[in-house]
Structure 1
Amino acid sequence: MRPSTLLLALPSMALAFLSPGPLHKRDSWGGSVSLGPTKSTIINAVTTIIPGAAPPTQNGMLFLWPGMSNGTGDLVQTTLESWPDNSWCGATTGQWCIRASLFGSFGQLDGSAGVVKGTDKVKIEYNLEADGETWKQTVTNADTGAALSSFSYKSGPYMRGWGTGTECNNDCTGTVAAQQYINTVITLKEADATFGNTIAKASGATYSGLASSSGGKVWTIKQIDVPSMS
């Protein structure tokens, strides 16, 4: 289980409202790109990450994720994970464990875990279901369609920010390869023509192809590039 402080605390002003508490003094961060808060609410967010190889050995805990929250409620956050021993999910050297996760006042809840290679394209989708309360996380291999993890929970229709994270805890071994997020699409309940103005980047991350459609209801980022920490 990840400690409760490992929440969506991106090193950027745009998502500062998503951080529920102080970081451990030995925590550090890689690059990130974030959007929010929106004047509307998010109803769907999908992206595909190519994570690059995980470190061959690990001292602490390293996490890659796209996360979504409103800063006071639950945090929707599928994570790619590198631990000193990743055998709990079946990963071998250079591979990542992955699981759909949720954080809140109750602690952490997880879906089943899968294994991801550095060259895999991993599609991560967060969708607000028809009841307007349940967020479903669906994680698949974008090339094969194979299921990797999933999780559903009633977190409410309150999500206002989305961002990527490269999170290093307990003096971890940082990323040794760059990450790439492609074909990110964020759909809002109502149009927010100013949502794109909230985009922020940190620690060398870059983005390209930010655009909107449907009057500012649908926002896309063609590509996000996050450099390695090494």
Structure 2
Amino acid sequence: MQHLLTLLAGASLATAGVLNAPSRIIKRDSWGGSVSLGPSKSTIVNAVTTLIPGTAPSTQNGELFLWPGMSNGTGDLIQTTLESWPDNSWCGATTGQWCVRASVFGGFGQLDGTASPVSGSDKVRIEYNLESDDTTWVQTVTNADTGAALSSYSIDAGPYMTGYGTGTECDDSCTGTIAAQQYLNTVITLASADTTFGDTIASASGATYTGLSSSQGGKVWTISTINVPAM
């Protein structure tokens, strides 16, 4: 997980793509639980998970982010984020809801898709897919139960993704999570088999996982559940 967090801390962050949306804060205060895999001897070509975020804090002091992220050798971070700000009305969220948006971070700043509100019990399906040109990553965020579109973003970031992990990020002395998060049926597909990829799995700050398995000779890796406790 450290390679993901280091790249995130070093990014020069700005906002684009969402009218009046708040920008990310560079300062990092603390991190919640996490589970990560990588680096792989191969590269990732698809990653999908379904996140149940739990209720967001009813009031917020700083900025709180939940995300599954992927890092690459160029310093880009592919990260769809669920966000809790002191005022979440910018995405239409009400008390206890999150704002979700597909985002990418790098030396160019922060680039975002449109944002939507989601409730704590919503199942947010987040998929990252490398297109057939082997350079374009498409993030697709939907409600897993209804299929409703929540956010999307596409960017040329190259076939360099080698690490995948969850993050609970608390910036600017934020109010931490008040409910557990759960990631369901996380599936990571590699360009070629890496039978040692599962050996790289790590967890921190009380997060746990179940059902790590592989198929297609180590090309497809699945984690049945990831459970992240409240902060």
CA 98–24 in structure 1, closer or farther in 2 if over 3 Å, else same: closer
2:157 aligns with one of 155, 158, 161:
155
Contact 2:4 2:70 in 1 (8 A): no
Describe how 1:30-69 pairs up with structure 2 within 5 A. Answer: 30-69=32-71
Corresponding position: 1:21 with 2:13 = no
Describe how 1:190-205 pairs up with structure 2 within 5 A. Answer: 190-205=192-207
Contact 2:4 2:69 in 1 (8 A): no
Contact 1:211 1:220 in 2 (8 A): yes
- Greater than 6 Å deviation, 4+ residue runs: 22-25
Q: Which residue of 2 is the match for residue 224 of structure 1?
A: 226
Counterpart AA for 2:226: I
2:185 aligns with one of 183, 186, 204:
183
CA 25–19 in structure 1, closer or farther in 2 if over 3 Å, else same: closer
Structure 2 CA distance, aligned partners of 1:205 and 1:108?
28
- Other structure's SS at 2:188 match: strand
1:97-151: CA deviation from partner (whole Å, max 9, x where unpaired): 0000011111000000011000000000000001110000000000000000000
Contact 1:62 1:166 in 2 (8 A): yes
Structure 2 CA distance, aligned partners of 1:57 and 1:154?
37
Unaligned runs of 5+ in 1: 1-9
1:24 positional shift: 6.5
Counterpart AA for 2:209: Y
CA 160–102 in structure 1, closer or farther in 2 if over 3 Å, else same: same
Q: Which residue of 1 is the match for residue 82 of structure 2?
A: 80
Q: Which residue of 2 is the match for residue 6 of structure 1?
A: none
Structure 2 CA distance, aligned partners of 1:28 and 1:17?
13
> How many residues align structurally?
218
Q: TM-score, normalised by structure 1?
A: 0.91
Contact 1:19 1:71 in 2 (8 A): no
1:15 positional shift: 5.0
Unaligned runs of 5+ in 2: 12-24
Q: Which residue of 2 is the match for residue 172 of structure 1?
A: 174
